[in-house]
Structure 1
């Protein structure tokens, strides 16, 4: 019997080798440059202690003349210090839109990703991005006898509590404060009394001693400064000046004439923002 040698065409041989190599790669699973889940680098503070995990919260549900500036400013600050910026663009609360901040707090606390949440109204500018909000938290709690029991850092203006800038400990214990505030609002609504979220929070702090004991009042200029055009200051009587941390144009419509009072003030004070060097964190 004559046996002929079997000769494989070169192209077919290359195809077989390619398929064999592809099969081997697929059998190894997907490769990742990142480390395993949970291996992310945790920023360290002074003394090698993990830095507090911070989320800055705000929302905007309609078009504004200062939309870009407000978002850019908060995003820039968050990038500079390694914080998260959480912005909602829709509100789905059955209450007034201002109550949506309560839903945001509830949602972010339940993630377990943060130590503190900093709420900022959209009509604000962080005018000194050098300042770390964690330094303010540490400074305010340092000399308190019960710092671990303080869940809320708030400010007042000339009318009392102002909810434009406040800090919440991201702990399940904090959520009771906002649930109780909503209960106050619901009871008022049952009597045909419309109450803002700020008024509900203020009433809770006034009427409930236990809730009030978990609140620390920060001097207004440190966390929620008003410009000279809106001279509604707390008892320190200190308004915004160049180098101050945060500028809030609260109720600009009642103090500044024009079709766009807040936008006008935003534009006026934009050049006073201390941005820092974007090359260090972009």
Structure 2
């Protein structure tokens, strides 16, 4: 989890780098051919000039000469930042391009390795103590990770840490960006206008939401948004978004659930109506 405050200057004691999330806008170009002549012809039809400087993600259904394709896109004012995982992964690694997960997949969370070992040891001790004291009792389910305690091993614990909910109790102020990768993000306070809350899983807000709300940020179509007082400037689930001006009027300032349905897009449900 990272909270970025755009209104505050970094102090002299700030770390040299920090991982954080900020919602960025880029387009995804899907390619069904490796014919560069045909691709350039369509670019000429689509783009009015060569100075758009649009960041784009390459999503190809066929093998490509990635180096030549990247050069072509740059020549038309587009800025390739990476590829969708698939046929171009090996070439992308060689060219130091980012590889993004396919729809419905999550990006692996970056975990602090020094903290993992003590956590594994502690839970292993707790597990052994529970088994010793409760030999005849049924296995207990861990609601945070939905993993049965009796099945937990040191290896599986490290992997399940990637699916962990985060509870954030403070108000998210204008200019702040709260990002959580690896599980649900739960805010017990409000999201002010100009702030944003982003997660690759589901987003829960027990307060008033006026900023930007993003769930399923890496393409998880099962992700949802639950909001007690719904009035965001932007809402997005699994890459499908809706701006404030296009929200259904009957959901404004209501308790609302937002989800993505294939073929329909975003579906808004008022939860306190019977």
TM over 0.5: no
Relative to the length of structure 1, the TM-score reads 0.20
More strand by share: 2
**Higher normalized contact order (CA 8 Å, seq sep 6+, divided by chain length):** 1
